[in-house]
Amino acid sequence: MIEKKEFPQGFLWGASTSAFQVEGAAFEDGKGLTVADVRSAKKKDLQMDTTVSVDHYHNLEEDVLLMKELGMKSYRFSISWARIFPNGNDKEPNQKGIEFYHSLLDLLKENDIEPIVTMFHFDLPMGLVNQYGGWVSRKSIDDFVYYADFLFTEYGDKVKYWLTINEQSVIVSMPDMIGIDIENNSKQEVLKKAQIANYHMSIAQAKVFKLCHDKLPNSKIGPAISYLTALPATMKSSDLFAAKQLDDVHSFTLMDIAVRGEIPKYYKVMLENAGIFIEQSEEDIKTLKEGTADFLGVNWYCTTIVKKKEHYEERSWIYDQIEMIKDKDLLYTDWGWNLDPVGLRYALQRLNDRYPNVPVMITECGWSQKEQLEDGKVHDELRIKYLKEHIYQMYLAIEDGVNVIAFNPWSFIDILSSSDGMEKRYGLVYVDRDDFDEKSMKRYKKDSYYYYQDVIKTNGSTLIEEFSK
């Protein structure tokens, strides 16, 4: 008999969102102000803000039923820190916020969907920024642990998989996302503050890893890391090394810290070359060693092709030493991200080479495009192509020996893009609204919804068979 080719039994087919991008209700039921709210409000004349978004907060039951119909086995979402603690470190939590996430978790359980919960996804409470500057201060470490401890106590019996911080390297490279003033500080000072914040987030995360292991021994916890996968524009060693350095700074440094429990030497050297010195105490070294991840969550979208600049400042940061190049043979979104599915297999193999047998969750992976609703339908052929080819390459990576346990593409439903509003659509489910008109807010299943539904139903076997012919 020929063995049926499919994904491993129990594979977590799902999809992802984040609180500030879908919930709306930004100023309802006691929720506090966040950096994400402030950032989006500054651009409300250009795009949708967080006030209503796609109103997941008031459409919880309908949205979870759509997840159930899709066949989702998991749902990766985030809890808004400021919906639980409006100022980030209040003595008493916000009861309405607590109840909202209990309602969501209970609905997921009723529909046999495994929650994968992110604690912090781009929406730092402004209260912490106003009190002491947010992550730039060491005070943030204790406040994040305090918040995490509450989540473990309140929801620990309902959540098996936890994610700590979403795309730490992205918010470090865009430091206004954590409340750092980028207008009234020099470029060097902003870089320094961002890297100090990076260090504090890493210490806080290690403490939370250990806390989870001590408090919830049956749960698993890991980071959600932006996995860049840089490729050299040429075979020149300067371009190869630039691609490696970009990967190291953006992705592997944080993976090394999370899995190996130490800050890699190459990262320290890069900091020093940029004129940044971070003192690491013996206590911090011990903290990192004692708190390591059970798995790696990776947000992977595309490859990034880079070329080393001919001229750059000697002590500049790696992002200022390179330029991004487009490959004329690849498809690109309107926002410059390519469709390079073999890159995913390559990226997953690199993870397995570096961290053998560490389980991997793909916590984001998706295709953005402008879309129109036509007679109640959305024909998103390119998203189907993206999903089909990336899922197959993921299957090949599993056959290679990579322990991929979940696939949660971005995003389940159309969301507020943090930089590009509602025009940049990622969802499997279309929401009838645009940047400036809420319209009906009705949900419509896109063609990709039905395609992914069949993939889940057959555990990938139909897709694999198609490629095997």
Share of the chain above pLDDT 70, in %: 100
Nearest to 81 by CA among 164, 157, 5: 164
Q: Strand, helix or coil at 206?
A: helix
Among 6, 23, 92, 167, which one carries the catalytic annotation? 167
CA distance 198 to 176: 13
Tell me the pLDDT tens digit for each residue of 60-77.
999 999 999 999 999 999
What is residue 420's predicted lDDT score, i.e. its pLDDT?
A: 87
Euclidean distance between the first and the last CA atom of the chain, given in angstroms as a whole number? 18
2 has pLDDT over 60:
no
131-140 pLDDT per residue, tens: 999 999 999 9
Q: Is residue 271 very low, low, confident or very high in pLDDT (cuts 50, 70, 90)?
A: very high
Average pLDDT of the segment spanning 92-107: 98
Range of lowest pLDDT (95-109, 154-168, 306-320)? 306-320
The residue annotated as part of the active site, out of 154, 183, 364, 381, is: 364
Q: 167 catalytic, yes or no?
A: yes
* Cβ(119)–Cβ(208) below 8 Å: yes
Worst-scoring range by mean pLDDT, 161-170, 185-194, 226-235, 446-455? 185-194
CATH topology of domain 12-468: TIM Barrel (3.20.20)
Q: CA-CA distance, 134 to 315, in Å (whole number)?
A: 27
Task: Please answer whether residues 257 and 326 qualify as being in contact, where contact means their C-beta atoms are separated by less than 8 angstroms.
Answer: no
DSSP 450: H
Asked whether the predicted pLDDT for residue 304 surpasses 70, the reply is yes
Contact (CB, 8 A) for 416 and 374:
no
Q: Is 364 a catalytic residue?
A: yes
Tell me the pLDDT tens digit for each residue of 180-237: 988 888 888 999 999 999 999 999 999 999 999 999 999 999 999 999 999 999 999 9
- The rounded percent of the chain whose pLDDT value lies above 90 is 91
Task: Kindly tell me if the per-residue pLDDT of 1 is higher than 80.
Answer: no
Q: What are the residue boundaries of the structural domains of the chain, listed by start?
A: 12-468
The stretch 299-312 carries a mean pLDDT of 94
pLDDT confidence of 432, banded at 50, 70, 90?
very high
Helix (H) and strand (E) counts in the chain: 17, 15
Least confident of 132-146, 309-323, 436-450: 309-323
pLDDT of residue 468: 83
Question: Is-contact 65 111, C-beta < 8 A?
Answer: yes
Does pLDDT of 315 surpass 90? no
pTM score, whole prediction: 0.95
- Residue 426 structure tokens: 């990622």
